[in-house]
Structure 1
Amino acid sequence: MENLKKVEIIIFIWILSSCNVFAQDNIQRLFASNLVDVKKERLVKNVLITIQNGKIIEIGENPDLSKLDDYIDLSEYTLLPGLIDCHTHLTNPYFDKTKDVYELPIASYGILGTLYARNTLLAGFTTVRDVGGYFYSDVALRDAINNNWIVGPRMYVSGKAITMTGGHGAWGNWMAPQFELEPNPGNPVDGDVEVRKRARILIKNGVNLLKINATGGFGTANSIPGAASFTIEEMNAAVDEAKKRGLKIAAHAHGAGGIKNAIKAGVNSIEHGTFLNQESIDLMKEHKVFLVMDLLAAYVSLIEANEDNSDKGINKGNQELYNDYANKFRDAYNQGVKMAFGTDASIFEHGRNAEQFKLMKEAGMKSIDILKSATINASELIGIDTNTGSIEVGKWADIIAVKGNPMENIELLENVYFVMKGGKIYKNEK
């Protein structure tokens, strides 16, 4: 009996040691000369980050590296939280004028999405909120990434935006009546009953949030961006369905009337805000609604492409319209509106997202606040701030690295040398 107990003890010790070895095998360490603490708005020197099973378990300063057997040496770099873009369309190729998006087979959206997702991740964006994908291609792309079938950022998706008859994104706007699809894939809907049912269908089919078009848009024929669309009551039906399921709702809204209606209906964010006014700013502050202004998409459309907007009810040239948009961005920022980073990726080539940081700086935002908009603010808007948005113990190991100090030169974020998402390295060009 005594020998049997000795054997049991030996087996128990062997099991414990095996577990310890297994745990050690999952340990990763990153050392860098600098780390941006976005919460405390400071640069931390000589930092060692310990990661286990995709999460940060320890952050130490001034470590004795001679005692470490193995670590990733990023001593020439500055670490930051993985960036977050709150307004993307990763399955949409609008920027590519060689492709007619209305003639592509359904599968093409998902296939192209695999390319665009990879480009976005390698640009340093470890998380995106994708607000508008045809045929649930965004849901499929999200799931493919989560299942490790393909490489891409962590995605939170809305499916197709909810729109009304004649609204932005309503297929009937461009398709001749005899060619309208039956059954129409979710657009348009009218009245609070139809809006509520559409919201329920989207939620049933696995979206993470809802998006509703509160105004017209630039990308839809015969649509006026400044004009309000859904009523407060119609939008409130979608808001009600989202919130009772614990989901958030984003509102595409260019004009001040639609912005006001969307906020009063209870949305969580205003997307674009092209023609916002002082009342819009006051309402966003009062209701703690986030503003997501896509300066890069506006710049590409108005300045680079010089698109013709003569049918949009706007009595301004493109340069004047962009300057006005940048000024409204500055006004909202200076008055304390909560702002999250979003680019409307798909209007420009996917992977160019970080070019917006320079435009935000030129519009008057401080570099540290730009960083916050794409990290802790963005994570709060999505609802994942306990898991990402800053480099802290207990959070996902979403970490990127650049050369130099981005708090002094925000354009450094256009060249990311190292990308880690959930503890897995996807890019290492050190």
Structure 2
Amino acid sequence: MLKFSYLLSAAALALSASPALAETVFISADRMLDVETGEYVDGPLITVVDGKVTEVATNRAPPAGAQVIDLSGHTLLPGLIDMHVHLDGRPEYGGYSGLQFSDRFWTAVAVGNAKKMLDGGFTTIRNLGASDYNVVGIDQAIEEGWVEGPRIVGAAHALGATGGHCDETFLPPSFEAKSPAVGDGPEELRKRVREQRKYGAEVIKACATGGVFSRNTAPGIQQLSLEELTAIADEAHFWGLKAAAHAHGAKGIKAAIRAGFDTIEHASYIDDEGIKLAKERGTFLSMDIFNTEYTLSQGAANGVLEENLNKERALSQAQRDNFRKAHEAGVKMVFASDAAVMPHELVGGQFRVMVEYGMSPLQAIRAATVNAADALGQTGQVGVIKPGAWADIIAVDGDPLTDVGELADVDAVIKGGKLVD
């Protein structure tokens, strides 16, 4: 019996030591958009080995007996990238209404939202702020195969000043509610960067100005000094992480750009000097110009306070006008929805608004593919369909260069060479 057990164990060990066979899949369709050139490739046959593209051929049949994802009648594009998402939130729970739920309710919400984003064609997202490290856990669960969702570059908790937009601002002093990532002074904020990285952050977010959906903060007012912002950006870069600054007001935007932040979120009141600075320094603008209609039409019913609705009314058109100005000036732009402020399943509708405010359909698509990949520091890994990239691909029925609204209702999603159900 002992000898048999030994032989069985030895056989199992030998089997486990054998190299696993590479999984090869072929993807075919009528055509594919090369987002780098802006040209269509007819009759593509994409070879995928272990989740990554190894070849893009044209007008070639797959080998006999091969595993094929046949998307005849469709146009292929790279999987989309949303650069500003909050998975553990929903707009239906505005104001104080979210306090009726357990803390772990929001982890479950994040699971549902991750699937909604993936189904919408967003195969990569940047999650810019979450409570209780919820999204760090969801990211790990996706990687381990327990839940379905996009690739996540997450910020964990957002850094900010005491009493600022990224602090807890809705509760009275008796609750002693405080965000674990607030800090005052450069050295304290450097420590907050290290703590967030320690517990799973892959990008660092800081709130340079006030915001719309907090209490007792004005979006246009700067809340972190240049010295504090510089310490945050320097520390993030020291650890090899990108830094994103929430900034609505012109002064805070310019301070964040000068401090070295890689992306500016919202950028609602950016002025001519800020636009010039962003262009000179190669800073990306990440402007959520679609969620206004939802907030103003549904916010009150969802419990959003009038104070917050008034702030949205005040800045929304300025943000859209400045989106057009920055784009016309040649500033680098990425797709950003601020999902959670609006439903995650609707964010694809932003492509139409980006075109309405000055972009061509191809420019809007690039904002959610190659531009976003560059801003993430993942050039050539996501946002393209070419050898070496993850086989993250979407299929649409029509011509997205004629009607970018096709991206609001994708027909098929492939992540890592696997068709998403």
The two structures have a TM-score, normalised by structure 2, of 0.90
Identify the range of structure 1 (92-101 vs 56-65) with the bigger mean alpha-carbon deviation.
Answer: 92-101
Query: CA contact under 8 A between 1:224 and 1:313: conserved in structure 2?
Result: no
Corresponding residue to 1:199 among 184, 193, 199: 193
Corresponding residue to 1:276 among 263, 270, 278: 270
1:159 corresponds to: 156
Report the Cα distance in structure 1 between the residues aligned to 2:167 and 2:24, rounded to whole angstroms.
50
Task: Note the C-alpha offset of 1:243.
Answer: 0.6
TM-superposition CA deviations, 1:221-250 (whole Å, max 9, x none): 111001011001011111121111110100
1:6 corresponds to: none
Q: Are positions 1:218 and 2:212 aligned together? A: yes
Report the Cα distance in structure 1 between the residues aligned to 2:386 and 2:122, rounded to whole angstroms.
18
Instruction: Summarize the Cα distance change of 1:333–1:204 in structure 2 as closer, same or farther, 3 Å threshold.
Output: same
Query: CA contact under 8 A between 1:91 and 1:133: conserved in structure 2?
Result: yes
Query: CA contact under 8 A between 1:91 and 1:137: conserved in structure 2?
Result: yes
1:31 corresponds to: 28
Corresponding residue to 2:165 among 143, 165, 168: 168
Report the Cα distance in structure 1 between the residues aligned to 2:83 and 2:49, rounded to whole angstroms.
27
Query: CA contact under 8 A between 1:214 and 1:262: conserved in structure 2?
Result: yes
Report the AA paired with residue 389 of structure 1: G
TM-superposition CA deviations, 1:5-55 (whole Å, max 9, x none): xxxxxxxxxx9xx979x44xx211111111000000111111111111101
Asked which structure has the greater CA Rg, the reply is 1
2:232 corresponds to: 238
Query: CA contact under 8 A between 2:166 and 2:179: conserved in structure 1?
Result: no
Task: Note the C-alpha offset of 1:312.
Answer: 8.8
TM-superposition CA deviations, 1:90-142 (whole Å, max 9, x none): 01123435983344322112111110100110110000000000011111111
Q: Are positions 1:115 and 2:112 aligned together? A: yes
Instruction: Summarize the Cα distance change of 1:251–1:391 in structure 2 as closer, same or farther, 3 Å threshold.
Output: same
Report the Cα distance in structure 2 between the residues aligned to 1:312 and 1:33, rounded to whole angstroms.
46
- What SS does the corresponding residue of 1:295 show, helix, strand or coil? coil
Instruction: Summarize the Cα distance change of 1:280–1:98 in structure 2 as closer, same or farther, 3 Å threshold.
Output: closer
Task: Note the C-alpha offset of 1:178.
Answer: 1.3
Aligned residues: 402
Report the Cα distance in structure 1 between the residues aligned to 2:63 and 2:149, rounded to whole angstroms.
35
- What SS does the corresponding residue of 2:97 show, helix, strand or coil? coil
Report the Cα distance in structure 2 between the residues aligned to 1:111 and 1:97, rounded to whole angstroms.
17
- What SS does the corresponding residue of 2:268 show, helix, strand or coil? strand
Unaligned runs of 5+ in 2: 1-14
Q: Are positions 1:422 and 2:408 aligned together? A: no
Report the Cα distance in structure 2 between the residues aligned to 1:63 and 1:229, rounded to whole angstroms.
58
Report the Cα distance in structure 1 between the residues aligned to 2:352 and 2:87, rounded to whole angstroms.
22
Query: CA contact under 8 A between 1:94 and 1:101: conserved in structure 2?
Result: no
Report the AA paired with residue 203 of structure 1: R
Report the Cα distance in structure 2 between the residues aligned to 1:138 and 1:360, rounded to whole angstroms.
28
1:132 corresponds to: 129
Report the Cα distance in structure 1 between the residues aligned to 2:96 and 2:54, rounded to whole angstroms.
46
Query: CA contact under 8 A between 1:93 and 1:101: conserved in structure 2?
Result: no
Report the Cα distance in structure 2 between the residues aligned to 1:300 and 1:239, rounded to whole angstroms.
33
Instruction: Summarize the Cα distance change of 1:327–1:139 in structure 2 as closer, same or farther, 3 Å threshold.
Output: same
The two structures have a TM-score, normalised by structure 1, of 0.88
Query: CA contact under 8 A between 2:284 and 2:334: conserved in structure 1?
Result: yes
Corresponding residue to 1:325 among 302, 307, 319: 319
Report the Cα distance in structure 1 between the residues aligned to 2:239 and 2:94, rounded to whole angstroms.
39
- What SS does the corresponding residue of 1:368 show, helix, strand or coil? helix
- What SS does the corresponding residue of 2:248 show, helix, strand or coil? strand
Report the Cα distance in structure 2 between the residues aligned to 1:310 and 1:159, rounded to whole angstroms.
27
Query: CA contact under 8 A between 1:224 and 1:312: conserved in structure 2?
Result: no
Q: Are positions 1:346 and 2:336 aligned together? A: no
